[in-house]
Amino acid sequence: MLRLPVPLVISFLLVGCDPGNVDARTEKMTSEEVHGSVTTSSATADDATTAPADSASARSAADLRPGAPTDTAIFAGGCFWCMEPPYDKLDGVRSTTSGYTAGSVVNPAYEQVSAGGTGHTEAIQVVFDPARVTYDRLLSVFWRNIDPFATNRQFCDNGSQYRSGIYPRNATQKAAADASLRAVAARFRQPIVTEIVAATPFYAAEEYHQDYYMKNPLRYKFYRSRCGRDARLEEIWGSAAGR
């Protein structure tokens, strides 16, 4: 049995997307606290020195097709840390950006959004090559990574800033989003509470939030497990969870 030093255990327990865990999200764990298992080098990369081989940064030039036309999609599925990975691994996705949308404050900071007073939700912006991956495919991935029955929360994170949503940028995306919601609603008896609202300005989150799962894999995995995200997704979606 692995025996972790007390400071590490305490730090792990603080990790989360919840507003009460601002310290954990501003990266204050030291290299001594991780007991030599990972390297601390900066506020944005203190749990890892390399990114996973299948990350967006490791994609081939052929996959990214420089110069190819792109489209953009915006989704909210609770903690934005957890919504980047399922899209980053999709062939045809060029980038994912964590941020804030559907609110009333211009260029909000994390502390403002997490306090719940700006109306924003934590979201991700997905830039993709429509010749390689369709918007319908992105929608399918979205649904299977959220709890569509949860009002103003996702998993262990509570508050309107964690509500789920699809934010179409044009009539074509709106029609596809509506169709996908109808398909999901037909599958379940519980009402679907995920909002579909026309896209409003999307503001990129602070740099330490971007690619969090690659920069801080230990904390990310612990948070995801502690939050019960995978267990709940499997309960809802079965073998299709997270796909």
Domain ranges of the chain: 6-50+69-240
6-50+69-240: CATH topology is Peptide Methionine Sulfoxide Reductase; Chain A (3.30.1060)
Q: Which amino acid is at 226?
A: R
Residue 93 binned pLDDT confidence (cut-offs 50, 70, 90) = very high
Tens of pLDDT, residue by residue over 35-56, are 222 222 233 334 333 334 344 4
Please pick, among 17, 79, 82, 156, the residue that the annotation labels catalytic.
79
* Angle, CA 76 vertex, CA 215 and CA 221 arms, to 5°: 30
The mean pLDDT value for 85-108 works out to: 97
List Cα–Cα distances, 115 to 97, 108, 160, in angstroms. Answer: 21, 11, 10
The mean pLDDT value for 146-173 works out to: 97
The verdict on whether 156 is a catalytic residue reads no
Residue 63 binned pLDDT confidence (cut-offs 50, 70, 90) = low
Picking from 9-13, 193-197, 234-238, which range would have the lowest pLDDT averaged per residue? 9-13
* Residue 29, pLDDT score: 32
The mean pLDDT value for 222-236 works out to: 96
Share the mean pLDDT of the chain.
Answer: 81
Residue 100 above 50 pLDDT?
A: yes
List Cα–Cα distances, 178 to 17, 153, 166, 201, in angstroms. Answer: 28, 21, 9, 21
Tens of pLDDT, residue by residue over 174-194, are 999 999 999 999 999 999 999
Cβ pair 124, 98 in contact under 8 A: yes
* Residue 243, pLDDT score: 76
* Residue 190, pLDDT score: 96
Residue 20 above 90 pLDDT?
A: no
* Residue 66, pLDDT score: 63
The mean pLDDT value for 94-109 works out to: 97
CB contact set of 166 (below 8 Å; sequence gap of 6+) = 74, 75, 76, 139, 142, 177, 180, 181, 194, 195, 196, 197
Please spell the DSSP secondary structure of 83-140, one letter per residue: HHHHHHTSTTEEEEEEEEES-SSSS--HHHHHTT-S--EEEEEEEE-TTTS-HHHHHH
Residue 153 above 90 pLDDT?
A: yes
Q: Which amino acid is at 153?
A: R
Residue 83 above 50 pLDDT?
A: yes
- Number of Cβ within 10 Å of residue 2's Cβ equals 5
Cβ-defined contacts of 59-64 (< 8 Å, 24+): 63/91, 63/92, 63/132, 64/94, 64/129
CA–centroid distance for 116 within its chain: 18
What is the percent of the chain with per-residue pLDDT over 70, rounded to a whole number? 73
List Cα–Cα distances, 185 to 180, 181, 194, in angstroms. Answer: 9, 6, 11
Residue 6 above 90 pLDDT?
A: no
Q: Which amino acid is at 77?
A: G
The model scores a pTM over 0.85: no
Tokens representing 91 are 């062939």
